[in-house]
Amino acid sequence: MKNKENRKFTARYLCMLALFVAIEIVMKLCGLGSLRITPFLVMSFLTIPIAVGAIYLGPVAGLILGGVFGLLSLWDAMTGQSGMTVWFFNADPFNTILLCVGMRMLMGWITGLIFMGLKKIDKTKTISYFVSALSAPLLNTLFFMGYIILVFYNTEYIQNLVAEKSIANPVMFVVVLVGVQGLIEAGAGCLIGGAVSKILSKIKGVKA
């Protein structure tokens, strides 16, 4: 009986994971997952299904969903749909793969770990959902921009951008590029991701 229950759980897990992957891809293909602000900057909402999946299914699901997001981002870099990462890919394919895919996988995995830790101490049984959902867009920005500064900041492309916008240092570079878009991404991720995750967990019948 126990093995039968485990098989059911595994089948349910894989079905839910496949659903989140499908949502991620559909959002990207339909243009619902991003909003282009400038030729080199895109506001992304693709961290929302990653956050929900990581909260609902766990860190491994977050890792996989982050990888899907990363592969979609890498595809943009390879096909010329994203100005900044296109330049990065042409200059350094290996580090661009780490930037687009590796950083997103790390974001999804850690989002799941954050929820696992918070739900143990969350007496409200609600805060952990919204804080964890908020962590996804924040971590995505932190890891993505951090890796750009670490690896690509001194490249010709970034230095031209720095000179054009009169940016004094790497910190200001992040502030200028992220700015209001980062706050909108974080707010949307927190509210939508937190609410959906809480609702799904109630339907599942698992207490936080």
- Tens digit of each residue's pLDDT (9 = 90 or more) over 170-197: 888 888 878 777 888 889 899 999 999 9
pLDDT of 134-145, one tens digit each? Answer: 999 999 999 999
Higher pLDDT, 208 or 106: 106
> Does residue 31 or residue 65 have the better pLDDT?
65
pLDDT above 90 covers a percentage of the chain that reads 60
Mean pLDDT of 45-49: 92
What Å distances lie between residue 169 and 16, 64, 153, CA to CA? 43, 34, 10
Domain containing residue 22:
2-204
What are the angstrom distances between the C-alpha of 57 and each of 14, 15, 98, 113, 141? 10, 11, 24, 11, 23
**How many domains is the chain partitioned into structurally?**
1
Give the burial class of 34: count Cβ atoms within 10 A of its Cβ; 0-12 exposed, 13-18 middle, 19 or more buried: middle
- Rounded to whole angstroms, how far apart are CA atoms 170 and 150? 10
Query: Which residues make beta-bridge pairs with 34?
Result: 44
Higher-confidence position of 90 and 40: 90
What is the residue whose two structure tokens read 């956050």? Answer: 51
Return the DSSP state at 42.
E
Q: Can you give the pLDDT at residue 42?
A: 63
pTM: 0.87
pLDDT at 7 over 50: no
The answer, yes or no, to whether residue 1 has pLDDT greater than 90, is no
Spatial separation of the C-alpha atoms in residues 48 and 127, rounded to whole Å: 17
**55 touches 110 (CB < 8 A):** no
Provide mean pLDDT across the span 55-78: 95
pLDDT greater than 70 at residue 159: yes
The neighbouring-strand residues paired with 36 are 42
**How far is CA 190 from its chain centroid?**
12
pLDDT at 37: 59
Counting beta carbons within 10 angstroms of the beta carbon of residue 155, is it exposed (0 to 12), middle (13 to 18) or buried (19 or more)? Answer: middle
Q: Which of 205, 196, 207, 203 is nearest to 54 (CA)?
A: 196
Domain with residue 181: its CATH number is 1.10.1760.20
Phi, psi values for residue 44, rounded to 5°:
-115, 140
Tell me what the pLDDT averaged over the chain comes to: 87
The pLDDT-based confidence of 132 (bands split at 50, 70, 90) is: very high
Residues contacting 33, CB < 8 A, separation 6+: 24, 27, 44, 45, 46
